[in-house]
Amino acid sequence: MPRETGARGRRLLAALALAVLVLPVSARADAKADAKAKAEARPVTESLQVLHWWQSASERRAVDLLAERLGQQHVQWRDAMVPGGSGIGAGIVLRSRVLAKDAPEVAQLNGIVIRDWARLGLLADLDQVAARGDWERQLLPGIAALIRPGQHVVAAPLGIHRINILFHNRALFARHGLSAPVTWPDFERAAAVLARAGVTPLAQSSEPWQVATLFETLVLAEGGAAYFRQLFQQREPAAFADPRLGRALTRLRGLKKWMGAPVRELSWAEEVRQVADGSAGMLVMGDWAKGELNALGLHSDRDIGCGAVPGTAAFHLYNVDMLSMLAERPAQRASQETLAAMVMQPALQRDYSRVKGSVPVLRAPDLASMDACARASWTLFATSPAGQVPSMVHRMATDETARDAMVAELHRFFLNERVSVADTQRRLGVIGRRPQDR
């Protein structure tokens, strides 16, 4: 009996000892869960108004994603969307609000415009956020230089878009025995077959920025990256007199025969739907079109072909989605930094790009999560600095005044068949004159 009692006592002591070991761990887990629940239940106490021009279905999904993730950081995203596919309206609204001392806390600003706003001292620097997040090592080199136009980091980069993409409806091409066009003769043959079948070969809008976007891909095809930079970045007078510019204008006019007649002013999302439903066979557009196709339930690896515009396979004509913080609102500084830090999180970069159609700005993104089109875009941008070409139309290469005037001149040429190639080339040369050449 004493022996049995001793054994039972030892078992009881062992159980008590185990409980002593386990209870603190369990208590800590419960305390951690309680803290997490309290944090999640904590009401949003700060807010940021964000001015942007994202309005299509896929763009709204991207905005909703950003708003949701920011809300998880206990900051409310207050939406200030200004309609207009190329951001002209948003730029006008932002300037007027700054002049009225009513600037939003955050604005979508792309490319060279960031440099101009930073020079005026209107953008908050994000140096400390960038240092804490080790942005210099995390970012692709070209992007790191872009967000620091002077002495300070003044933008948080979201994603890189490739513009020189030719999309095609895979089922339509298969039905007619067509392959994805690689050369312009390939394109012409495919277009002729589609036209005979009653399909609009090339979806295209007469909207000014869309005409100019098509044109700049043709300049890249005719002249390559070095010539493109001479024309739109350096604005060298000789580049405007170059026959390659004339050939690009001639091809732009020649492509009109493959567009619906008359060429109507459509939103880019409407053109995407034409390719999706098979009423049009092809579309030249940035890879934001891929985001819209995904929103429609299609997939580029299965339903829609995604390749370079003929003659541009070695080049990445790009623009970059970026958010800048306005310096007028020091009370919201902490919330602005929260948003900037969030933008650079790898998971956010992956999820945003998947919805938007872009690719992450990071040196080491999750390539396995990308479709073939995205992997090709990121790989080309990351491995070929010489192939990186900043878009004129999408504000990466040219100041706003020259850009707007060139877009208007190209639109005039596109609409009016009586306007000659030579006259348009001459007028573009006048618009492109640098101050030192006047």
Average pLDDT value for residue range 265-282: 97
DSSP tally for the chain: helices H, then strands E: 19, 10
Find all residues with CB under 8 Å of 261, minimum gap 6, and list them: none
Q: What is the mean pLDDT of residues 181-204?
A: 98
Residue intervals in the chain for CATH 3.40.190.10: 46-160+320-372, 165-317+389-437
* Number of neighbours of residue 16 by Cβ within 10 angstroms: 10
**Range 177-184 contact pairs with CB under 8 angstroms and sequence separation of 24 or more:** 180/305, 180/307, 181/282, 181/307, 181/310, 182/307, 182/310, 182/313, 183/310, 183/311, 184/221, 184/251, 184/310, 184/311
The alpha carbons of the chain give a radius of gyration, in whole angstroms, of 27
pLDDT band at 83 (very low <50, low <70, confident <90, very high): confident
Rounded to an integer, what distance in angstroms lies between the CA atom of residue 333 and that of residue 84?
A: 29
Task: Please report the beta strands in 7-120, taking only residues with DSSP state E, as ranges in sequence order.
Answer: 46-52, 75-81, 106-108
pLDDT at 24 (0 to 100): 40
Q: Is the pTM of this model over 0.75?
A: yes
Strands ordered across the beta sheet of 200-203: 200-203, 280-285, 165-169, 304-308
pLDDT-derived band at 42 (thresholds 50, 70, 90) equals low
**How far, in Å, CA of 401 to CA of 24, rounded?**
67
Position with higher pLDDT, 105 vs 83 = 105
Question: Which fold is adopted by the domain 46-160+320-372?
Answer: D-Maltodextrin-Binding Protein; domain 2 (3.40.190)
Q: Quickly tell me which residue has 């009370």 as its tokens.
A: 331
Spelled out in words, what is the top-level CATH class assigned to the domain 165-317+389-437? alpha beta
- Minimal CA–CA distance to 431: which of 415, 409, 414? 409
Mean pLDDT, range 12-28, rounded to an integer: 36
| pLDDT score of 22 more than 60 | no
- Mean pLDDT for 50-72 is 96
SS (H, E, C) 127-167: HHHHHHCCHHHHECHHHHHHCCCCCCCCCEEEEEEECCEEE
Which tokens in the block code for residue 259? 């567009």
pLDDT band at residue 29, thresholds of 50, 70 and 90?
very low
Residues 232/145/115/309 CA torsion (nearest 10 deg) = 30
Query: Above pLDDT 70, what percent of the chain?
Result: 89
pLDDT digits (tens, 9 = 90+) for 285-308: 999 999 999 999 999 889 999 999
Local confidence band at 43 (pLDDT 50, 70, 90 cut-offs)? low
For residue range 219-260, what is the model confidence (pLDDT) as tens digits?
999 999 999 999 999 999 999 999 999 999 999 999 999 998
Q: What is the mean pLDDT of residues 109-127?
A: 93
pLDDT score at 199: 98
- Average pLDDT on 187-208 reads 98
Give the residue-averaged pLDDT of 64-72. 98
* Reported confidence tier of residue 435, pLDDT bands at 50, 70, 90: confident
The mean pLDDT of 113-119, rounded to a whole number, is 92
72 pLDDT higher than 80: yes
pLDDT band at 45 (very low <50, low <70, confident <90, very high): confident
187 contacts: CB under 8 Å, gap ≥ 6: 166, 181, 282, 310
State the burial class of residue 326 (Cβ atoms within 10 Å of its Cβ: 0-12, 13-18, 19+). Answer: buried
Cα–Cα nearest to 52, from 99, 8, 104, 3: 104
- In angstroms, the CA 413 to CA 36 distance is 61
Select from 227, 192, 286, 276 the least CA-distant residue to 181. 192
List, in sequence order, every residue forming a beta bridge with 359; answer none if it has no partner: 160
pLDDT in tens, 349-380: 999 999 999 999 999 999 999 999 999 999 99
State the pLDDT at residue 166. Answer: 99
Is pLDDT at 85 greater than 90 in this prediction?
no
Q: φ, ψ for residue 307 (rounded to 5)? A: -140, 175
Encoded tokens for 145: 């230089």
What distance in Å separates the CA atoms of residue 350 and residue 365, rounded to the nearest whole number?
7
- Classified as helix, coil or strand, 9 is helix
